[in-house]
Amino acid sequence: MPKGLLFVIADGEHVRFVRPAGDNALHSETRLESEAAHKRSSDLGSDRPGAMVPRHDPQDLEKAKFARLVAEQLNAGSADGVFDELVIVAPSHTLNAVRDALNTTTAAKVVGTLAKDLVKVPDNELWPHVREWVRPTHRAVT
C-alpha cells in the first residue's frame, strides 16, 4: 500500500528520507551517506610534485555517483509502493542529477522540487521550507 508523501533531502554526500508525521511535524525515516563522507582521505587527489592532475574532479564524480544511488533508491521505493508522491530538496546540481537518473514511473510521482541545501536542518525546523507540499491527507494520524 502506498505510504503517501516522501521528502528526499539531499546534498552531494548525504540524504535523508522524511515523511509528514502529523501536526506540522516531519520525521526522518532513513539516512544515507556517500563513501566519501565516511572517509576523507588524500587518495582523492595528489599533492606530489609532477603528479598528473585528473581530468575530472574526483569529488564531483563521487557526488554524481551518489546522486545516481539516491535515484536508484527512489526508483526501487517507487516500484515497491513506498510512496506515491515525492518532493526532492537539494542544491541545484544534486537536484538535477537525481532527477535525471529517475525512471519514468518515479519521475511521474515528483510533485515538487526545492533547490536548497537543507540536509543539516533538523526535522523540527523543516516545516517552513516544505509545508506547501503537505496537505492534510499526508499528515499522519495519531
Query: What is the C-alpha to C-alpha distance for residues 87 and 112, in angstroms, rounded to an integer?
Result: 5
Task: Kindly report the CATH number assigned to the domain that includes residue 23.
Answer: 3.30.420.60
Instruction: Check: pTM over 0.85? Answer yes or no.
Output: no
Please state the domain count of the chain. 1
Q: What is the structure's pLDDT at 54?
A: 56
Q: Would you say residue 17 lies in a domain?
A: yes
Domain range for residue 123?
Answer: 5-31+56-138
Model pLDDT for residues 87-112, shown as the tens digit of each residue: 999 999 999 999 999 999 999 999 99
What is the C-alpha R_g of the chain? Answer: 17
Q: H helices of the chain, where?
A: 35-38, 58-79, 92-101, 104-107, 127-130
Q: What are phi and psi of 25, to 5 degrees?
A: -110, 150
Q: What is the structure's pLDDT at 142?
A: 46
Higher pLDDT, 25 or 142: 25
Q: Would you say residue 37 lies in a domain?
A: no
Q: Would you say residue 80 lies in a domain?
A: yes
Whether the predicted pLDDT of 138 surpasses 80 = no
Whether the predicted pLDDT of 71 surpasses 90 = yes
Query: What is the C-alpha to C-alpha distance for residues 136 and 85, in angstroms, rounded to an integer?
Result: 14
Q: Would you say residue 41 lies in a domain?
A: no
Q: Would you say residue 130 lies in a domain?
A: yes
Q: Would you say residue 43 lies in a domain?
A: no
Q: Tell me which residue of 130, 82, 79, 81 sits closest to 102, measured CA to CA.
A: 79
Question: What is the average per-residue pLDDT within 38-61?
Answer: 56
Q: What are phi and psi of 52, to 5 degrees?
A: -70, 135
Q: Would you say residue 40 lies in a domain?
A: no
Whether the predicted pLDDT of 17 surpasses 50 = yes
